[in-house]
Amino acid sequence: MKKNKKSTLWIAAVGGLTAGFLNGLFGSGGGTVIVPFLEEFLDQDEHKAHATAILIILCFTLVSLIFYGMRNHLDYMLALKVSAGGVVGGLVGAKLLKKLSGSVIRKIFGACMILAAVRMVVGA
């Protein structure tokens, strides 16, 4: 079924609202929702969905950062230390994304989501 621009805008807004709400509430979670959402409801291929999700999550994160910062819930030194590794990991991951097929990306992402879910339920 072909979507028109107005329905695509509404679908995108609902997905953004859901992912943004989860990101604001939990401090993360946007990617776990937004990547499958982009693929399933907005017809993005795996590569474009993962890359686009990074930009979308940046927007969510900036808003959440302001609110958490206003409430003094941030550990700046810890964030700086973890971010140093995150920058390197982000570079490696972005380079690897280009080399993997959509099928492999989907399987790795799914396995990570299952692992995260099991850890949360079991409490490990």
Q: What is the pTM of this model?
A: 0.74
Quote the domain boundaries for residue 42.
Answer: 5-122
Residue 116 has pLDDT above 90, yes or no: no
State the pLDDT at residue 27.
67
Note the pLDDT tens digit of each residue in 25-66.
876 667 788 999 999 999 999 899 989 998 998 888 888 889
DSSP the chain: -PPPHHHHHHHHHHHHHHHHHHHHHHS--HHHHHHHHHHHHS---HHHHHHHHHHHHHHHHHHHHHHHHHTT---HHHHHHHHHHHHHHHHHHHHHHHHS-HHHHHHHHHHHHHHHHHHHHHT-
Minimum mean pLDDT range among 15-19, 50-54, 61-65, 108-112: 61-65
Residue 85 has pLDDT above 70, yes or no: yes
Structural domains counted in the chain:
1
